[in-house]
Amino acid sequence: MSAKRHTVIDSPYGPLTLVAADGLLSGLYMTDQRHRPADETFGEPDPRPFGQVREELTAYFAGELTEFTVPLHLAGTPFQRTVWEELRQIPYGETRSYGDLAGRLGRPGASRAVGLANGKNPVGIIVPCHRVIGSTGGLTGYGGGIGRKQQLLAFESRGAVPGESTLF
- Strands across the sheet containing 4-9: 24-30, 16-21, 4-9, 44-45
Q: Specify the pairing of strand 24-30 against strand 16-21.
A: antiparallel
Is 60 tagged catalytic?
Answer: no
Q: Is 16 helix (H, G, I), strand (E, B) or coil?
A: strand
In 50-140, where does DSSP find H-type helix? 51-61, 78-87, 98-104, 111-119
- Catalytic annotation, pick one of 129, 132, 152, 153: 129
Distance of alpha carbon 20 from the chain centroid = 15
> Is there a contact between 18 and 50 (Cβ–Cβ < 8 Å)?
yes
For residue 5, which phi and psi values (nearest 5 degrees)?
A: -140, 160
CA 83 – CA 118 distance, rounded (Å): 7
CA-CA distance, 28 to 66, in Å (whole number)?
17
Query: What residues act catalytically?
Result: 129
